[in-house]
């Protein structure tokens, strides 16, 4: 006998003590009680292969011993002190990050969540440009705070009834009715039109995910970011790249924007930076960072424990070549998924990079296959595999495992998915 209260009781307590906005996947969700690298275990002792990594957070695996060792050692020595006193982990982390951040990006401001990092990036863009407006793209998700929710275009996450009007939302590169290149061209044209009609002087920055995560693993074509950057530069509008979900080796590069050979003006990072520890940052080069001189600090952002953990994360990624793992196993998974697409007409598209892949499911009439997506997730869960879902129609299977999986894990997921699709 164990002392776990069990799933039903947890759901009951959630209803009683959390807000009703807190949702969960699955008809009978398991109570997850333990994690070990790519595996999670429930209160009944059942083992699951985790193929969602808490939405691209646990890139280095659950309870990774090397990372835990760094966190615990720091926790036992010094947990927190105001940023006004000097401590070393935060500067060591900033220095280490400067070696892996794209181009000349070098300065970091640490906070705790992705929303906060994006909020700070927008503030920095406004301080630097002296302008106000923000451009964001359809299907995007940038956070839950007022401004980042205003910059979030996925309808289900736009909860505030009085969102900020300084954000203009333009079409992204996804269209059910057009090929990717054509939709991407149209997206650029629309961005240009908005800049012309409202005036370049009205926009400080455009914020964009290199691959839209919650929006449905929307992956722009190779040329898109270069042309977008040129357009923005011409209009003195900064490019903020939100790497909250795509960063830290997930796409086969340290940062997804590197797949597009573009250096953004500001980059935001969170999730996998802490491998489960709350830490995030917005980062910029000397020139842009120099616009932020007024005193500002986050109480817990980049605290010694979080910073020491992130240093261990960066070391682990490098030592274990996680970029290569994501690229190699991502290629294997993508090939397998493309084969399944040939066999199962329900799969309409496979997209993404590295180990951030999505399989879109559409019915014969072209409508999102949301119920089928749920059935597949349930089936995989029963088979001991936890997958994610996203997309506007909640009809995109999301493959975003910890980057410590093996070839066998990829093969297992493909064969179980095939079996479930055959029996659907």
Report in angstroms how near the CB of residue 415 gets to ligand PMP at its nearest: 29
61 φ/ψ sector (left φ>0, alpha ψ -120 to 50, else beta): left
Rounded-to-integer distance, Cα 333 and Cα 355, Å: 8
Closest contact distance (angstroms) between CB of 358 and ligand PMP is: 13
Paired strand residues for 37:
62
Instruction: Check residue 157 and report its DSSP letter.
Output: G
The b-or-e profile of 288-302 (16+ CB within 10 A means b, else e) is: bbebbeeeeebeebb
Nearer Cβ to ligand PMP, position 207 or 325? 207
- 35, 89, 213, 216: which one contacts ligand PMP (CB under 6 A)? 213
Distance (Å, rounded) from C-alpha 278 to C-alpha 272? 9
Q: Does 143 bind ligand PMP (CB under 6 A)?
A: yes
Report the residue number, 93 or 141, with the smaller CB distance to ligand PMP. 141
Q: Does residue 344 touch ligand PMP according to CB under 6 A?
A: no
Contact (CB, 8 A) for 321 and 286: no
270 is a contact residue toward ligand PMP (CB under 6 A):
yes
Cβ-based neighbours of 129, under 8 Å, separated by 6 or more: 204, 205, 236, 237, 238
Residue 214 near ligand PMP by CB under 6 A: yes
Strand order in the sheet with 266-269: 107-111, 280-284, 266-269, 238-242, 203-208, 133-137, 167-170
By the rule CB under 6 A, 114 interacts with ligand PMP: yes
The reply to whether 244 sits near ligand PMP by the rule CB under 6 A is yes
Kindly tell me which residue out of 64, 74, 113, 251 binds ligand PMP, with binding defined by CB under 6 A. 113
Nearer to ligand PMP (CB atom), residue 61 or residue 388: 388
Using CB under 6 A, count the residues that bind ligand PMP: 16
Q: What is the number of the residue whose Cβ is closest to ligand PMP?
A: 114
Q: How far is CA 334 from the centre of its chain?
A: 19
- Per CB under 6 A, 300 contacts ligand PMP: no
115 binding ligand PMP? (CB under 6 A): yes
Residues that bind ligand PMP (CB under 6 A): 55, 113-115, 118, 141-144, 209, 213-214, 242, 244-245, 270
């Amino acid at each position: 006998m164990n002392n776990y209260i069990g799933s039903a009781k947890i759901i009951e307590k959630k209803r009683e003590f959390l807000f009703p906005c807190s949702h969960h996947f699955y008809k009978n969700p398991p109570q997850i009680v333990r994690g070990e690298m790519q595996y999670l275990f429930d209160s009944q002792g059942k083992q699951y292969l985790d193929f969602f990594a808490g939405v691209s957070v646990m890139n280095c695996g659950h309870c990774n011993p090397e990372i835990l060792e760094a966190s615990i050692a720091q926790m036992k020595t010094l947990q927190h002190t105001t940023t006004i006193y000097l401590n070393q982990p935060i500067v060591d982390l900033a220095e280490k990050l400067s070696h892996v951040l794209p181009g000349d990006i070098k300065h970091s401001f640490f906070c705790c969540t992705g929303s906060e990092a994006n909020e700070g990036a927008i503030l920095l863009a406004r301080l630097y440009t002296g302008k106000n407006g923000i451009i964001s793209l359809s299907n995007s998700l940038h956070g839950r705070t007022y401004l980042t929710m205003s910059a979030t275009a996925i309808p289900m996450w736009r909860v505030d009834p009085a969102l900020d009007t300084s954000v203009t939302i333009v079409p992204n590169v996804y269209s059910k009715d057009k090929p990717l290149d054509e939709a991407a061209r149209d997206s650029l044209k629309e961005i240009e039109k908005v800049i012309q009609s409202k005036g370049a002087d009205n926009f400080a920055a455009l914020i964009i995910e290199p691959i839209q995560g919650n929006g449905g693993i929307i992956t722009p074509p190779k040329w898109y970011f270069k042309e977008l950057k040129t357009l923005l530069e011409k209009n003195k509008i900064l490019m903020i790249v939100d790497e909250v979900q795509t960063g830290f080796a997930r796409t086969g590069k340290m940062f997804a924007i590197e797949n597009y050979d573009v250096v953004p003006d500001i980059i935001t990072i969170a999730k996998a930076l802490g491998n489960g520890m709350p830490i995030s940052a917005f980062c910029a080069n000397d020139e842009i960072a120099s616009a932020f001189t007024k005193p500002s600090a986050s109480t817990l952002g980049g605290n010694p424990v979080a910073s020491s953990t992130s240093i261990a994360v960066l070391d682990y990624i490098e030592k274990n070549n996680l970029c290569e793992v994501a690229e190699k196993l991502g290629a294997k998974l993508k090939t397998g998924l493309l084969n399944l697409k040939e066999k199962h007409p329900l799969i309409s598209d496979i997209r993404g990079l590295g180990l951030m892949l999505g399989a879109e499911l559409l019915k014969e009439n072209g409508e999102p296959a949301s119920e089928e997506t749920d059935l597949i997730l349930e089936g995989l869960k029963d088979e001991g595999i936890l997958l994610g879902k996203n997309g506007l129609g909640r009809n995109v299977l999301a493959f975003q495992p910890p980057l410590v999986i093996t070839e066998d894990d990829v093969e297992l997921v493909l064969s179980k998915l095939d079996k479930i699709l055959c029996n659907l």
